C-alpha cells in the first residue's frame, strides 16, 4: 500500500510480510540506516494527539491505528510491516484498504496458541473527557457513544461485535473526520500535512465540504469504534471483553489498553517476542541485542536468537582494534538472554500469521 501520511505528508509504502510465530506485530523502518524495528506495543507509544504514534525520536511511526485495526480485526498475531517512511499511508481515511489487502493475503493458522486478554471482573477507565466501562465477555464487543455539537453528528451510539466478518461490513469502511475550523490550528502544530478531502470527511459548520457524502449517517461513531480496535492492538493480544466507550480518544484508548494489560487475565503468550523483551530489558536500538526467546526450561536453560543481516552495522566491540569484535558481539546477546532467563515470564507461541507471498504459509512448530 502506498500514499501520503495524514500528519507527516510523507510519501510512504507499507508492505505486509510474513513473520515467524511468536514474533508479534513489528514495524520495520527500511528508510533508516540499520532498518530499526518498532514493536507495536504500549511501551513504544510516543504521542496520542489526533493519532497514535509509536517509536522514539527518528524511529517514530505516526498514525498506526488504522493499519493495526485491520491486523487486529483479522486476528493476525504475527506480522512484519515494512515502511519506507514515518507514517503508513492514510489512503481513503478508513481501515478498509488495509483490511482488504490482508484478506487477499489469506492469513493462515500456525502451531501455538494466541495471546488472549480476558476480563474477569468489571472495571472503569477515565482519561480526560473519555470514559470506559469494561465487562467480562466471551467475545470482543464494543459499544461506543460520541457527541459533537454539529448537525450531522450530534449524539451517536453503536454496538459492534468485533469479528473479521462484522468488522469488514460495519466498521472498516468508516472514514476519519475533521472540521474545517481546526485546519489552521492543526497545521500550526505540524499536523495534517497530508490531509485532503479524499482522505477524510471534512465538515464545516453545517455540512460536508466540497459536496462530500457519508457512507452511513453514523459513520463518525463507526470510525471511532475502529480506532479503539487499532489502539487496543498495542496490548499485543486478542481482547475478550465488552468495552463501553463514551467520547473515546486516542489518549483514552491507550489508557484503556494499559488498564486491560494490568487487569485482564493473559493466556497463551509466546515465549518472548521483541515487544515483551523490551518490556523487561531497558536496552533499545542499536544496543538491544536479543531478538527472540524460543525456549525456556524453568530457571535452568534459556535459548535466545540474535539475527544479524548483511545490511546491519557490525558491532566492532568495546575496544575496536584490540582483539576480535565478535567476542563482544556474542557476549552482549548472552548477557541480555541471561537477564531474561531471570525474569518470571514464561510463554508459548502465537497462532496466526500472514503466509509468504506465493505460498500457502504455515511454519514448523515452535518448542516451549
The residues annotated with a catalytic role in the active site are: 250, 318
3-state SS assignment for residue 364: coil
- Going by their DSSP bridges, the two strands 177-179 and 201-203 should be labelled as parallel
Helix (H, G, I), strand (E, B) or coil at 266: strand
What phi and psi values does residue 119 have, to the nearest 5 degrees? -80, 130
- List of E strands, 65-219: 79-83, 108-109, 116-118, 123-127, 130-136, 140-148, 154-161, 177-179, 201-203
Helices (H) and strands (E) counted in the chain, each on its own, are: 8, 20
Given a contact cutoff of 8 angstroms between Cβ atoms, the answer to whether 318 and 328 are in contact is yes
Task: Identify the CA nearest to 250 among candidates 234, 271, 265, 269.
Answer: 234
Per the listing, cell 503508513 goes with 88
| Phi, psi angles (nearest 5°) of residue 302 | -145, 140
DSSP state of 182: G
Task: Copy the grid coordinates of residue 232.
Answer: 487496543
Question: With the CA atoms of 292, 114, 59 and 56 taken in that order, what torsion angle do they form, in degrees rounded to the nearest 10?
Answer: -90
Q: How many CB atoms lie within 10 A of CB 281?
A: 18
* Cis peptide bond N-terminal to 355, omega within 30: no
Amino acid at each position: 500500500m502506498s500514499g501520503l501520511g495524514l500528519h507527516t505528508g510523507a510519501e510512504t509504502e507499507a508492505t505486509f510480510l510474513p513473520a515467524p510465530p511468536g514474533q508479534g506485530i513489528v514495524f520495520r523502518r527500511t528508510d533508516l540506516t540499520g532498518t530499526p524495528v518498532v514493536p507495536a506495543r504500549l511501551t513504544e507509544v510516543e504521542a496520542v494527539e489526533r493519532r497514535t504514534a509509536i517509536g522514539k525520536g527518528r524511529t517514530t511511526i505516526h498514525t498506526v491505528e488504522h493499519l493495526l485495526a485491520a491486523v487486529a480485526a483479522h486476528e493476525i498475531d504475527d506480522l512484519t510491516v515494512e515502511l519506507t517512511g514515518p507514517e503508513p499511508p492514510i489512503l481513503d481515511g478508513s481501515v478498509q484498504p488495509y483490511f482488504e489487502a490482508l484478506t487477499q493475503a489469506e492469513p493462515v493458522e500456525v502451531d501455538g496458541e494466541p495471546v488472549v486478554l480476558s476480563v474477569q471482573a468489571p472495571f472503569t477507565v477515565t482519561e480526560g473527557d473519555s470514559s470506559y466501562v469494561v465487562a467480562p465477555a466471551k467475545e470482543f464487543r464494543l459499544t461506543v457513544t460520541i457527541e459533537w455539537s454539529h448537525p450531522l453528528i450530534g449524539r451517536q451510539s453503536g454496538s459492534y461485535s468485533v469479528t473479521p466478518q462484522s468488522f469488514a461490513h460495519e466498521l472498516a469502511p468508516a472514514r476519519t473526520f475533521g472540521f474545517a475550523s481546526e485546519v489552521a490550528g492543526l497545521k500550526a502544530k505540524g499536523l495534517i500535512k497530508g490531509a485532503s478531502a479524499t482522505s477524510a470527511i471534512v465538515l464545516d459548520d453545517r455540512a460536508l465540504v466540497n459536496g462530500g457524502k457519508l457512507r452511513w449517517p453514523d459513520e463518525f461513531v463507526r470510525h471511532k469504534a475502529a480506532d479503539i480496535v487499532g489502539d487496543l492492538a498495542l496490548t499485543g493480544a486478542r481482547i475478550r471483553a465488552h468495552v463501553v466507550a463514551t467520547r473515546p480518544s486516542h489518549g483514552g484508548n491507550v489508557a484503556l489498553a494499559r488498564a486491560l494489560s494490568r487487569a485482564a487475565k493473559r493466556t497463551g503468550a509466546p515465549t518472548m517476542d521483541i515487544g515483551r523483551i523490551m518490556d523487561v530489558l531497558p536496552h533499545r536500538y542499536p544496543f538491544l541485542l536479543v531478538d527472540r526467546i524460543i525456549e525456556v526450561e524453568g530457571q535452568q536453560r534459556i535459548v535466545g536468537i540474535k539475527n544479524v543481516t548483511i545490511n546491519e552495522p557490525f558491532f566492532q566491540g568495546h575496544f575496536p582494534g584490540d582483539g576480535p569484535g565478535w567476542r563482544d558481539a556474542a557476549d552482549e546477546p548472552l548477557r541480555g538472554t541471561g537477564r531474561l532467563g531471570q525474569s518470571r515470564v514464561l510463554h508459548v507461541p502465537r497462532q496466526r500469521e500472514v503466509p509468504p507471498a506465493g505460498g500457502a504459509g504455515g511454519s514448523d512448530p515452535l518448542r516451549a
